[in-house]
Structure formats: C-alpha cells, structure tokens
Chain A
Amino acid sequence: MKEIVVISGKGGTGKTSIVASFAALANNAVLADCDVDAADLYLVLEPDIKQTHDFSGGKLASVITEKCIGCGRCEEVCNFDAAVFNGPPNDVVERTYTIDSIACEGCGLCVHYCPVDAIEFKDAVNGQWFISDTRFGPMVHARLGIAQENSGKLVSLIRKQSKQIAAEQNKDLIIVDGSPGIGCPVIASIVGADLVLAVTEPTISGQHDLDRVVELTKHFKIPTAVCVNKYDINVKITKAIEKKALERDLKVAGKITYDIAVTKAQIAARSIVEYSSNGLKDQIVSLWESVLDILKPS
C-alpha cells in the first residue's frame, strides 16, 4: 500500500483540483482530505456520507459559576489569557470568572490550581469526521469546528482511518489532499508518506513557499516531486523552479497550463479530467503517470 500526499506551501495553487483528478484516474484508491481547515475536495467528489463521528482532540476548561469565589488564581496560572473576570454574580461574590473557550488551550492548570474546584475539564468537540463513498471509491474527510484547535491530531486520525480502510478493502493506494503552510497539520499530513507531490505556481511567492515546503519534506526525509501549475504565467520563473528542483534531486513530475477550464470544472463539480478533453487533460494524465512511475519500487 502506498500513500501519496499532495501539498502546496502556498495556497490556491490548484492542489485540490489535482487531487480530484488523481482520484478519477486511480482505480483502486482511498481518498483522504487532510486539508481540514479549508476542506474543499468534497465539493467535487460529492461524497455520500456513511459514517459520522465526533472528533475530540483535547479538553476545555469551564467555570462552574455557583462555586467560583473570584479569587483569580485561574487568571494567574493561565498562559493563554483565557480566564476572564467577566462572569455573573453568585451567592458569594459580585463577579465571577469565565473561560474564553476560543483562547483556552486545554492545559488544565486552572483546573488543578483552583482552590475550590470550581473549574470543570471536559472533552472538547473540535469537529467531525466522516467515512463516505464517492464515485471514485471510499473517502475519509472531516470538518473542523469553527475556530478549533488540534487540526494536526485530526489529520493523523484521517490518515489512520484511510489506512485501515485501504487494508480492509484491499486498496493499494491512498491519495491525500494536504494543507497549505509548513505547520502542524502539514507535518501531520506528510510524516511517513511514500511520496509528497508539491504543487506550486511560477510566481516569486510560489517559488519562495516551495523552498520552505521542500525544506520541510527534506527535514522529515520524505521523497518529494514537484508540479508547476499555471506554468505559462511566467515561463522564466518556471525554468528557475525546474532548475532548482534538478539541483536538489527532485523530480518535476509535470507542468500544467493556465486554463479557465479548471475553474469551470470546479463549478460543474467535476474533476478536470472528467470535464476537459483537450491538452489540459493530457497534461494531468501525464502528471499522474509520472507520479505512479516515481512510486514504483525500483
């Protein structure tokens, strides 16, 4: 079983459109949307949800107002400015504390140090995750709650579930839609994967972000290939990206032209390879073939 993760340091490079096309081209794959912050893959794959589960990545503190004596110990120990002296009065004091659930990181210090045990510590529901069927096979995806934390843990959970499904259903490939950036959800998406495909665009920003992402995959020793999307927007920068990739021993798996059909396919809720039949489709098919080629055991 092989796992390929498509990421882009810079957002908006067409990563999800490429993943949707890969899903259409692969015939025995499990699909995983690990871009939990801005999960868009479902818009194209239109999953039929079979299972829904709550996701809890940590805990949250909350003050039991009746018990609070307003001593301020919680505010003193909280490093995240989450304990606020703005609660309603109770039988003992004029004002009580409350916990700002958006700021709370669930460290539990206030719970431990509160002298009257007035703070509860409960599992936080950070989001939901789903197992679905799509026209291209099973898909695991999620929705992170608004302003929630623990996206890294959710990503790890999705990957674990995808592997389990792949094992059960004898699928030999997992295609993962990763997230932008280089932070915890990205690290959680790529660690231990067989191949990372970094999608970039020929802009100075794209180049800069690719450098950082490639440094990250190198740091975690994950084989990496590059795809330049909209390469014709700036041919000079595309050349520079290719040259640098070569110097770093990275394969350029493919180049894709700028084409309005990418947006049109998105509006039609189709992958590019289903929607377009011209050169654009050929470019993506050849990208996919070279990805499979890189994945092959040598």
Chain B
Amino acid sequence: MPDNLVIAVASGKGGTGKTTIATNLAHYTARLGQKVQYLDCDVEEPNGHIFLKPKIDFSGAVTIDVPQVDLEKCTGCGKCGEICQYSAIICIKENVLTFEQLCHSCSGCWRICPADAIKPKPLNIGDIEFGKASGVDFVGGKLRIGYVRTPSLIKEVKKHIKEDHLAIIDVPPGTSCPVVEAVRGADFVLLITEPTPFGLNDLKLTVGLVREMNLPFAIIINRYGIGNNEVEKYCAAENIDIVLKLPDDRRIAEAYSSGRIIVDVLSEYLKQFSELYEYIKRIKVGINDKRRLRVRRKNKSGFRSSSSCTQDP
C-alpha cells in the first residue's frame, strides 16, 4: 500500500473539481483500509470539510513572526528600513512604523538592529484544524480574512503530513506562490482540468509549473464531454498520462452542490476511483526525496521556520 506517498491534487483553473477528486479519493481509499490523510491547503477557500464532514478533535491558531519595536531602545538609525525589501518597516525621523501585512518574516530587521530594539512577535494569520472523517485523517488550514500570508499557512498545514499515510493535498487554484508551496515536495501531482479553452489554457500553465519544479504528474479530465478534445490532443502531443475521465453528469453536479461524496451516492463511479487508486499504487515514492527531506529536517528542528502553530497536537 502506498503508505508513504504524498499526492498533490491541483488545477490552474478554479472550479474544475479538484476538491471533488481529492475528497472522493481519500474517502474511497479509507474505505478499503488505506491509511489516508487529507490536507486542505486551499486555505483561502477551504471546502474539503464540506464533503468529508470531519469531527474536529483539535484546532489551533497559526502565527508568523512580525517585528515589534521598542521605541525606548530605538536610536533611529534606520537600518531596519534599509534591509527590509517589502517596505514593511520604515524609519522616518527617529520614528519607526511597521506594516504587518507587508512583512514576509524574513527576520532581517530584528537581526540587524544594532540597538536590539526589535523583537519578533506572533501575528495570527489563520487557523488549523485536525480531525477524523470516516477513516480519513483530516488536516485543514483557514486563512483569516484580510490576511495575505497564504504560503506560510500552507507550509504549516504540510508540517502535519504523516510519514506512514497516503497524504492527499488539496492545492489552491492558480500558478503562483501558494501553489508552489502546496505542491513542493510531493511525490506526484494530479492535475485536474476540464476540456474547455479556459481549462486547457490554465492546464498548460500548471504543467509549466510542475515541470519547472521537476515533479512527476498526470492529468484527470473532469466534465468530460462538455467541450472539445483539445485537452486530449495536447496530452498526446506532450506525452502526458490521462489517468481518469469523469463525465459531465448533472447528478455529479447535484451531489456536489449539496456537499455529498460521489462514490457514496453514485456507485457506478466506484470503478473510476478504483482505477485511480490502482494507478497511485504504482507511483514510486521518493523521486523527490532530497528536497522533501531537506524541508522536513528544518521544520522538525522548529528552528528557522517562518510559521508556527501555537499548540501542537
């Protein structure tokens, strides 16, 4: 059994059924006795809990470090403002202003301050939840409204990947920094798309991203039959595996709309998910081990991590 595998489920375009695939796969494999973990890294709009309905055992706040300036000690030298690349701290006439939302927690200002006037203080950017959902181990992150440190929260969620589980990561849509953080270190990426011009355009961007990051991947076409066959042509030309085609079925849309798991209500789709599971079993672990271990080692020491969970389960 693929007990040590990390699979990221991603899609450039939103709304292509990424969460549907991720939650159904987790639920289905758990039914077969697979030790499986679902990690919701779509922290801006997390939806996995709607389908898996986990019983939450534990939750905690996730914080990042931002500067706290002791104006008594500050000499107004301006070094903090010089080192900060993000205009998150500025020094004007012996007065230091901080803009917490712009801070990347690089630690530059508190490292460099010669008067020792800056200390890191925690800023709450979101929450993380842990629970169980009919055999699926659930971890989910949720970004607070008005906060922008999406990648830091994703990083925190991923620290809770269990080494002896099949870990399924629900990746946020798009192709920029949150996606990079969510897929980084995965053994395999499943890219979900739909057979439409928008779907294909965004798929190409995501393929570019996973290739750039050297991650092995394959494609799942959702709402198969709705558009044209350009996605298939593209996959054939680029030599990309299509693992699964899920048809455009109004009943799937309806099950989805009311937050239900497809394999529970439409048993004819069990076959598709069983094929997907068989495909996953053939994936080799550790193609990307080097980077994964490197990131993990650092995180474990808890020492230079840019984010932290205030309580650990």
Contact = CB atoms under 8 A, between A and B. Distances in A.
Given A182-B145, A266-B196, A208 B47 contact: yes
A79 interface: yes
A47 interface: no
Interface of B: 12-16, 19, 44-45, 47, 50, 83, 85-86, 104-108, 111-112, 143, 145-146, 148, 150, 172-180, 184, 196-198, 201-202, 205, 208-209, 212-213, 226-228, 250, 253-254, 256-259, 294-295, 298, 304, 306
Given A108-B108, A219-B145, A263-B227, A202 B257 contact: yes
B198 A266 contact: yes
Interface size class of A (residues with CB under 8 A): 35 or more
A292 interface: no
Given A40-B202, A147-B209, A183-B150, A79 B145 contact: no
A128 B45 CA distance: 28
A12 B13 contact: yes
B212 A147 contact: yes
Contacts of B228: 267
Contact of A43 (B150, B201, B258): B201
Contact of A181 (B45, B184, B209): B45
B182 to A, nearest CB: 12
Interface of A is mostly: loop
A269 to B, nearest CB: 7
B154 to A, nearest CB: 11
A83 to B, nearest CB: 11
Interface of A: 8-13, 16, 36-38, 40, 43, 58-59, 77-81, 84, 102-103, 105-109, 112, 144, 146-149, 151-152, 179-187, 201-206, 208-209, 212, 215-216, 219-220, 233-234, 237, 260, 263, 266-267, 269
A205 B47 contact: yes
A152 B143 CA distance: 17
A205 B170 CA distance: 14
Contacts of B148: 152, 183-184, 187
B174 to A, nearest CB: 4
